[in-house]
Amino acid sequence: MPQSPADRRVVVTGPPRRTLPHARLRSRGRYPQVSGYYRPRTEIDEQTTLGHTYVRSLMRSQLRAGLTVFAVLGLLIGPLPLLFAAMPDARGLEWLVLGFGLYAPLVLLARWYVRRAERNERDFVRLVEDR
């Protein structure tokens, strides 16, 4: 009975795994046991789909932090022209707000971003180094 093309079995294989030489020596205790776990660093180095996913997750987390800073910055600075237009007689207040009122929030925002980016990278390194 001939099989139709839809009924054929397909063998799916993945990339070859690195194993220690001489599996018999490993079973006798001369080499440490190797788990079937494939390290993320190898996935990234070999540019597999999983490695690409790891790198994309880092890029997404960094993008999320950058867009958060951009949104907060827009909400902080965006309404200032409207505020200054509503108060045309307060020229001295404009310079105080621009000179002193924005400086501290901008420094805090920059500090938050740098700490967040470093934390994202540290988490990624921990994932890759398998700690």
Identify which has the larger pLDDT, 104 or 26.
Answer: 104
User: What pLDDT, on a 0 to 100 scale, did the predictor assign at position 41?
Assistant: 62
* pTM for the model: 0.61
User: What pLDDT, on a 0 to 100 scale, did the predictor assign at position 45?
Assistant: 65
DSSP notation for 3-69: PPGGG-------PPPP--S-HHHHHTTSS----SPPPHHHHHHTT-HHHHHHHHHHHHHHHHHHHHH
Encode pLDDT of 46-66 as tens digits: 677 777 777 888 899 999 999
The mean pLDDT value of the chain amounts to 78
- pLDDT exceeds cutoff 50 at 92: yes
Listed residue (124, 111, 108) closest to 61, CA to CA = 124
- pLDDT exceeds cutoff 60 at 26: no
71-84 mean pLDDT: 91
Identify which has the larger pLDDT, 92 or 109.
Answer: 109
Torsion angles phi and psi, residue 10, rounded to 5 = -120, 135
